[in-house]
């Protein structure tokens, strides 16, 4: 048995009308906008597990959950020719960091333009279980958060916490309110031995000790009275830097963080903390000077900045399908190296004049990609910390290089397993050789072919398979796409508006 987004939409519409409800009343009941309910009923919105549960509860209709009990899948018809324009949405990674940082503030926090994706839903579920009040407003993309006087870590949602690695970023905020607390072990993508040691090493300098017990991190805090501390991070990681920033934000005195990440989500967190009254110097560099405050109690609104990884995803969709599309609101500061590599490979692009994001800080451009004949790069493609080529954009070059004439080397020195997951591009016709756990050799150009394929347990490689399937002859059934929903909001429907043919279904394909 199989359910599609269209059949599910009909089921929801019939259940709503049988109760005499308007779309607005259902929207109010599930915490979304009327326009979202309209898209759902027309089969034009990718439903998260969280939204499916809320719809079933509001309509008192367990059949909705029964119909979607199996895994979610995508059926992709190719080859695709895309055209038109699409806007980059806000950063998932920044949203997660800002949700965690909202715990630092005893006032009212409003995050505008927040992505409604599985990863965000998991963090929201954890925050609600701690006692944080949440209200979705606007078109369902703005979130108001009000924390209680005391966060109740004892009632934490264990299931939601274990499904996201971002739970580690609760350590920095919670250490300000508790001398002792526990967090479940972190989950997330399967990208190899992503050790938590750098987090513990950094937070230890603020008095936080962590012991791994049965299924939990047991944290204890030994506060000191130092007026200045210098912390050198053993890894220039994004979440490590964010955790250290949240620890420093409410630690009175001066903290100097060295070997810090200057990446996009870290900058967004810095801008947000500055709005909370925390003085931060060196934003975007590897040295951050933070003047912490003992308590934060302000009403604040913040617009989350655009996502450079989503921008690269959408641009790759145009490149791989040899189409001309315009991707609007691309954060150019975090894409300049990627664009330089693409230019070397022969990709033609037109960039608009720069303008400013709604956060008042990030620089944006509109980018049009044109059909181009690509050649393999002369050197290997590898990531570097900001301002180098972003580690999360590296996988897209695997599918781009598969379109290029010649031999390319993709070197992912950061993650143990991601090159292995990208080897799955061979199932769709790419000439890919796994040289070792970190290096791929790709010989192009590729004549893509459709087939049934299961998503690997990693976000970006799974999206690469989706993009390659759009260029492939025939039908591809991409199964178990939960990992894609963790990082992208309504991706099939948004690509369909450009001309893609992607259908969502649950369970086995009929």
For the chain, how long is the longest CA-to-CA vector? 66
Q: What value does the mean pLDDT take over residues 114-143?
A: 87
Residues 108 and 218 grouped into a single domain: yes
**The predicted structure's pLDDT at residue 189:** 46
Show which of 303, 332, 363 is a domain's final residue.
303
Q: For residue 2, is pLDDT > 70?
A: no
The domain spanning residue 346 has which CATH number?
Answer: 3.65.10.10
65 φ, ψ (degrees, to nearest 5)? -70, -35
Q: Is 138 left (phi over 0), alpha (psi -120 to 50) or beta?
A: left
Residues 282 and 424 grouped into a single domain: no
d(CA 436, CA 217) in angstroms, rounded, equals: 33
Residues 259 and 289 grouped into a single domain: yes
d(CA 459, CA 223) in angstroms, rounded, equals: 38
How buried is 297 (Cβ within 10 angstroms: 0-12 exposed, 13-18 middle, 19+ buried)?
exposed
- Any idea what DSSP says for residue 354? P
Residues 288 and 169 grouped into a single domain: yes
For the sheet with 208-213, list strands across it: 180-184, 216-221, 208-213
Show which of 69, 101, 121 is a domain's final residue.
69
Report the candidate in 396, 294, 412 with the shortest Cα–Cα distance to residue 341. Answer: 396
Place of tokens 């695709």: 80
Report the candidate in 280, 232, 279 with the shortest Cα–Cα distance to residue 260. Answer: 232
d(CA 127, CA 111) in angstroms, rounded, equals: 14
Of the pLDDT bands very low, low, confident and very high (cuts 50, 70, 90), residue 68 is low
For the sheet with 287-292, list strands across it: 228-232, 253-258, 287-292, 279-281
Residues 213 and 118 grouped into a single domain: yes
The mean of the pLDDT values for the chain is 90
Q: For residue 230, is pLDDT > 90?
A: yes
Residues 267 and 375 grouped into a single domain: no
Alpha helices in 163-236 (DSSP H): 171-174, 197-204
**The predicted structure's pLDDT at residue 45:** 73
Q: For residue 194, is pLDDT > 70?
A: no
d(CA 261, CA 255) in angstroms, rounded, equals: 15
Residues 470 and 490 grouped into a single domain: yes
Q: How would you write 243-268 as a 3-class SS string? A: HHHHHHHCCCEEEEEECCCCCHHHHH
- CA distances to 59, 92, 483 from 117, rounded to whole Å, are 22, 8, 10
The DSSP annotation for 390-408 comes to -TTTHHHHHHHHTTSBEEE
11 φ, ψ (degrees, to nearest 5)? -60, -45
**The predicted structure's pLDDT at residue 353:** 98
Show which of 303, 328, 362 is a domain's final residue.
303
Instruction: Decide if 334 contacts 386 (C-beta within 8 A).
Output: yes
pLDDT digit string, tens, across residues 356-378: 999 999 999 999 999 999 999 99
Q: For residue 30, is pLDDT > 90?
A: no
pTM for this prediction: 0.88
pLDDT digit string, tens, across residues 289-316: 999 999 999 999 999 999 999 999 999 9
Q: For residue 49, is pLDDT > 80?
A: no
% the chain with pLDDT above 70: 95
d(CA 274, CA 403) in angstroms, rounded, equals: 44
**The predicted structure's pLDDT at residue 325:** 98
Rg (CA), the chain: 23
d(CA 142, CA 198) in angstroms, rounded, equals: 33
Place of tokens 């025939």: 474
Q: Are strands 452-454 and 474-479 parallel, antiparallel or unpaired?
A: parallel
Domain count, the chain: 3
Report the candidate in 208, 290, 288, 202 with the shortest Cα–Cα distance to residue 249. Answer: 290
Instruction: Decide if 126 contacts 154 (C-beta within 8 A).
Output: no
Residues 278 and 361 grouped into a single domain: no
Give strand pairing partners of 136: 143
Q: What value does the mean pLDDT take over residues 254-259?
A: 96
**The predicted structure's pLDDT at residue 401:** 98
Residues 298 and 311 grouped into a single domain: no
Residues 298 and 426 grouped into a single domain: no
pLDDT digit string, tens, across residues 310-344: 999 999 999 999 999 999 999 999 999 999 999 99
**The predicted structure's pLDDT at residue 191:** 40
Report the candidate in 159, 174, 157 with the shortest Cα–Cα distance to residue 208. Answer: 174
Q: What value does the mean pLDDT take over residues 209-236?
A: 86
d(CA 114, CA 99) in angstroms, rounded, equals: 10
19-28, 62-71, 281-290, 451-460 — which is least confidently predicted?
62-71
Q: For residue 193, is pLDDT > 50?
A: no
d(CA 294, CA 344) in angstroms, rounded, equals: 50
Residues 51 and 102 grouped into a single domain: no
Domain containing 240 equals: 92-303
Residues 85 and 98 grouped into a single domain: no
């Amino acid at each position: 048995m199989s359910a599609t987004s269209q059949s599910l939409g009909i089921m929801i519409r019939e259940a709503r009308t049988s109760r005499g409800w308007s779309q607005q009343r259902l929207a109010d009941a599930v915490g979304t906008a009327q326009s979202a309910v309209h898209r759902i009923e027309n089969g034009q919105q990718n439903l998260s597990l969280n939204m499916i549960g809320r719809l079933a509860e509001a309509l008192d209709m367990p059949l909705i959950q029964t119909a979607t009990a199996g895994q979610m899948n995508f059926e992709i018809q190719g080859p695709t020719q895309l055209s038109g324009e699409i806007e980059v949405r806000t950063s998932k990674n920044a949203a997660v960091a800002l949700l965690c940082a909202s715990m630092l503030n005893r006032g009212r926090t409003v995050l505008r333009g927040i992505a409604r994706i599985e990863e965000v839903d998991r963090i929201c579920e954890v925050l609600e279980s701690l006692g944080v009040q949440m209200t979705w407003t606007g078109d369902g993309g703005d979130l108001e958060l009000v924390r209680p006087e005391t966060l109740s870590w004892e009632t934490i949602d264990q299931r939601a916490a274990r499904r996201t690695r971002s739970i580690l970023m609760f350590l920095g905020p919670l250490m300000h309110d508790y001398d002792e607390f526990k967090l479940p072990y972190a989950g997330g993508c399967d990208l190899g031995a992503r050790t938590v040691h750098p987090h513990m090493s950094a937070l230890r300098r603020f008095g936080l000790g962590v012991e791994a017990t049965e299924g939990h991190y047991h944290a204890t805090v030994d506060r000191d009275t130092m007026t200045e501390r210098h912390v050198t991070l053993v890894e220039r990681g994004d979440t490590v830097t964010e955790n250290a920033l949240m620890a420093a934000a409410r630690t009175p005195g001066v903290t100097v963080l060295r070997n810090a990440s200057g990446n996009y989500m870290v900058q967004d967190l810095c801008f947000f903390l500055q709005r909370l009254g925390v003085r931060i110097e060196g934003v975007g560099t590897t040295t951050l000077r933070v003047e912490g405050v003992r308590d934060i109690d302000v009403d604040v609104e913040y617009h989350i900045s655009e996502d450079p990884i989503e921008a690269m995803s959408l641009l790759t969709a145009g490149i791989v399908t040899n189409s001309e599309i315009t991707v609007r609101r691309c954060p150019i500061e975090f894409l300049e190296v990627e664009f330089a590599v693409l230019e070397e490979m022969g990709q033609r692009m037109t960039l608009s004049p720069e303008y400013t994001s709604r956060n008042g800080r990030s620089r944006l451009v509109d980018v049009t990609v044109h059909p181009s004949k690509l050649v393999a790069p002369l050197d290997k493609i590898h990531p570097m910390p900001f301002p180098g080529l972003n580690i999360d954009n590296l996988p897209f070059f695997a599918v781009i290089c598969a379109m290029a004439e010649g031999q390319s080397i993709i070197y992912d020195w950061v993650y143990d397993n991601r090159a292995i997951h990208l080897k799955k591009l061979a199932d769709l016709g790419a000439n890919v050789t796994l040289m070792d756990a970190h290096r791929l050799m790709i010989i192009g150009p590729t004549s893509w072919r459709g087939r049934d394929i299961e998503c690997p347990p990693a976000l970006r490689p799974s999206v690469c398979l989706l993009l390659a399937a759009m260029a492939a002859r025939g039908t591809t059934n991409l199964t178990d796409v939960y990992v894609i929903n963790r990082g992208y909001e309504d991706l099939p429907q948004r690509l369909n508006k450009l001309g893609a043919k992607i259908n969502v279904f649950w369970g086995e394909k009929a």
